[in-house]
Structure 1
Amino acid sequence: MHELPQTRELAAFIAVIEAGGFAEAGRHLGVAPSTLSRTVTRLEAQLGVTLLRRSTRAIELTPEGRDLLIAAQDIVTRTEALTDLAARGRAPRGPLRVNAPVGFTLHVIAPRLCEFHALYPEVEVTLDMTDRPVDLIDSHADVAIRFGPLNDSEMLQRPLGTTPWCLVAAPGYLDRTGWPGHPEDLARLTQVRFTSPSHINNLRFEGVSEPVTVPASVHAENGEAVRSLILGEMGIARLSEFMVAEDIAAGRLVQLFPDLLIAEPLDITALYLTRTSGLRRLGVFLDWLGTRLAR
C-alpha cells in the first residue's frame, strides 16, 4: 500500500505551482528551493507518476500533475478550515507583514493600529510603506493594500472600500493668490503635480467642457510629499480624502469645488496569497481594517 502524501507536502506542491517555480515558492515559504524540489520528487515517488516537467527556466504540469493540483487544493482547503475551527478558541498570534502606500499607512493604519493591538496583542505587525506595487513573494509580505484597477488576477483579493478625491489648497495660499470663484479661475493658480501617475493631475469639472490646465509649481512622486507641499502653500493638488480629511476639518486646507470635481473614487483592495482560513492573523487584520474604513 502506498504511503499517502501529507498535507504539508501537498501545500508545498501547490505553492510551487502558484509561485511559478521552486525559487519563488521558497522565498515565500522561507525554505530552500532544494527542499521543495525534494518534496515534489517524494510526491512523485509516492504516487508513482510524474507531476512536473522541469527545465532551467520554467516548470510545467503534466496531466497527472493537474489532477493532483485540483485534489490537493481541495484537501488543503478542507484541512485549513478544520484547523481554523479547532483554533477558534485561541487568539491569533505570530508575525504579519503589511505592505501599503505611504499615505494610507500614515493616515489610516498607523494612527489606529493601537486598536488592533488591543484586540490581538499577540499578532506582531510589520508595516512596509511604498507607493509602488510590490511582489508579495519577493517582499515577504502577507498582504498588500493597493488602489485603483488591479492586474493581479491570480492573487486572492478582498475589497476594502473606496476613497473619493479632494481638490485642496491652503487658505494662506488662496489669500495670497486670490480665491477662485469658478473652476476656470484655477488656471491662474499653480499646481503641485504628481510625477506618476500623471492622470491624477487632470482636473475636470461639471459644466466645463475641457480639462482645466493649471501651471505646475513643483512635481513630487509621493502623495505625502504632495500633501506637505500643499500645506506649505505651494499650490493646489488633488489628493485622496483619507490623506486630507483631518487637515480640512482643522482648517489647514480647504476643499475647492467639491460638488463639481469629476473624479472616480479609488477602489481600495487587499491582495494576498495565503487563504485567511489558514492564516487567522491575516483574516482578523483584514476584518478590522475593513471595519475601520467602513466607519
Structure 2
Amino acid sequence: MNMFEAMGIFVQVVDHGSFARAAQANQLHRPAVTKAIQQLEQELGVQLLRRTTRKLSMTEEGEEFYQRCTQLLGDFADALALFSPTHPPKGKLRLDVPTAVAKAIIVPALPDFRRRYPAIELILRCSDHPVDLIGEGVDCAVRLGELADSSLVARRVGTIPMVTCGSPDYLSRHGTPACLDDLDRHVAVNFLIQHGRRTLEWQFEADGAIVSKHVHSDIVVDDSEAFHACGLAGMGLLQGLRPALQPYIDAGQLVEILPGIKAVPRPISVVVTERRYRPPKVDAFIGWLARLFVEQGLA
C-alpha cells in the first residue's frame, strides 16, 4: 500500500472514529486498515492515534498530520474534478458565514443546494468576525460590509436591507423616535466589529445623502444571538439585518421605528483565497449563493 492510500485510510479512520467503520467504508479487511496506520506511523516516526478498547483519539502530531492530509487529498480531488467536467463537484466544502445570515437566509435554502450538489459535504461554521481562511482551512467565507484591501479574492453577491426597531417595552418606557435627531435621546444595543475595535455605525438615507448616527449604548455585544436577545429584552434600540429581525417584528416582539427613513443596506460578498484555480465545489457554492440572492430580491 502506498503512502497516498495510507493517508486516505488514516483520514477515514479519524472521520469515522473507528478502524472497523473505516474498513467497511473502504471495503477493506480491518487488518489492512490497521497495517496502513502502522506503516504511516513507522514511516513518520511518530504516533498518530491513541487506541484503547473504548476510545480512539489523535495525538498532537496526529491532529497536525490529519489537517495536512485532508488539505492534500482535497486538492487532489479538486484537481481531478477540474479536468473532469463530466463529474459533478464533490468533496468537503468548509464555509464561514455570519450567524444571522446563515440562520435567516442561507440555511433555509440549503436543501436546494443539497439537491443540486449531493456529492458536496458542507462544513458550515457560523461566526460574527472575519477568520483567517488559510490558517483555519476555510474554503470560502461570506462577509458583510465593505471589505478592506487584502490578498483575498472577493465577489459581491448582493446587499441585505437593514431595519431599525425596538421592543414594545422599551418604546413604552422611552417613547418612539419620530426623526433622526430623536435618536440622540435614546440608547442602543451596539454591535462590535473588527474583533472589538469599533462599533457598527447606524446609517440612513435622508435627503439624498447618507447620514451616520452614533447612538449611545448601555451594552455592546459581539455576537448576533446576544444582539437580538438584548433588543428583545428591551435594553435598547436595534439596527440590524431585516431578514433576521423581520420574524420578531411580524410576531410583535419588536416594532419598526422610523419606517419613512431608509436604513442603508449592507453589501454581502463571498471571499476566497487567491489560487491559480478554484475548486469546482467552491465555484458551485458561489454560483448557487449568487442565484439565491437574485431569487430573494437581494442582488
Give 1:143's aligned residue: 140
Do residues 196 (structure 1) and 193 (structure 2) align?
A: yes
Residues 138, 209 of structure 1: alpha-carbon distance in 2 compared, 3 angstrom cutoff: closer
Give a deviation string over 1:159-206, Cα, whole Å, max 9, x none: 111123221112232133322333333333321122336452446673
Give 2:56's aligned residue: none
Do residues 260 (structure 1) and 261 (structure 2) align?
A: yes
Residues 191, 151 of structure 1: alpha-carbon distance in 2 compared, 3 angstrom cutoff: closer
Matches within 5 A, 1:156-235: 156-196=153-193, 198-202=198-202, 206=206, 214-235=215-236
Residues 274, 184 of structure 1: alpha-carbon distance in 2 compared, 3 angstrom cutoff: closer
Do residues 98 (structure 1) and 98 (structure 2) align?
A: no
Residue type of the alignment partner of 1:279: P
Decide whether the 8 Å contact of 2:145 with 2:268 is kept in 1. yes
Give a deviation string over 1:92-145, Cα, whole Å, max 9, x none: 221000011222222222222222122222211001122222111111010011
Residues 119, 219 of structure 1: alpha-carbon distance in 2 compared, 3 angstrom cutoff: same
Give 1:280's aligned residue: 280
Decide whether the 8 Å contact of 1:169 with 1:231 is kept in 2. yes
Residue 193 of structure 2: SS of its match in structure 1? coil
Give a deviation string over 1:1-38, Cα, whole Å, max 9, x none: xxxxxxxxxxxxxxxxxxxxxxxxx99x9369xx9xxx
Residue 136 of structure 1: SS of its match in structure 2? coil
Q: Output the CA distance in 2 between the equivalents of 1:185 and 1:199.
A: 20
Residues 259, 120 of structure 1: alpha-carbon distance in 2 compared, 3 angstrom cutoff: same
Residues 114, 276 of structure 1: alpha-carbon distance in 2 compared, 3 angstrom cutoff: farther
Q: Output the CA distance in 1 between the equivalents of 2:138 and 2:210.
A: 44
Matches within 5 A, 1:237-252: 237-252=238-253
- Please state how far the C-alpha of 1:245 moved relative to its aligned partner: 2.7
Residues 220, 291 of structure 1: alpha-carbon distance in 2 compared, 3 angstrom cutoff: same
Residue 238 of structure 1: SS of its match in structure 2? strand
The answer for unaligned runs of 5 or more in structure 2 is 1-63, 73-77
Q: Output the CA distance in 2 between the equivalents of 1:156 and 1:210.
A: 30
Give a deviation string over 1:248-294, Cα, whole Å, max 9, x none: 3333322221332553x322111113669752222221122112222
Decide whether the 8 Å contact of 1:201 with 1:237 is kept in 2. no
Decide whether the 8 Å contact of 1:223 with 1:239 is kept in 2. no
Decide whether the 8 Å contact of 1:91 with 1:120 is kept in 2. yes
Between structures 1 and 2, the one with greater strand share: 2
Residue 164 of structure 2: SS of its match in structure 1? strand
Give 2:28's aligned residue: none
Residues 276, 131 of structure 1: alpha-carbon distance in 2 compared, 3 angstrom cutoff: farther
Decide whether the 8 Å contact of 1:93 with 1:281 is kept in 2. yes
Decide whether the 8 Å contact of 1:97 with 1:143 is kept in 2. yes
Q: Output the CA distance in 1 between the equivalents of 2:212 and 2:271.
A: 34
Give 2:33's aligned residue: none
Give 1:107's aligned residue: 104
- Please state how far the C-alpha of 1:229 moved relative to its aligned partner: 0.9
Decide whether the 8 Å contact of 2:178 with 2:258 is kept in 1. no
* More off after superposition, 276-285 vs 135-144: 276-285
Decide whether the 8 Å contact of 2:177 with 2:258 is kept in 1. no
TM-score, length of structure 1 as denominator length: 0.63
TM-score, length of structure 2 as denominator length: 0.62
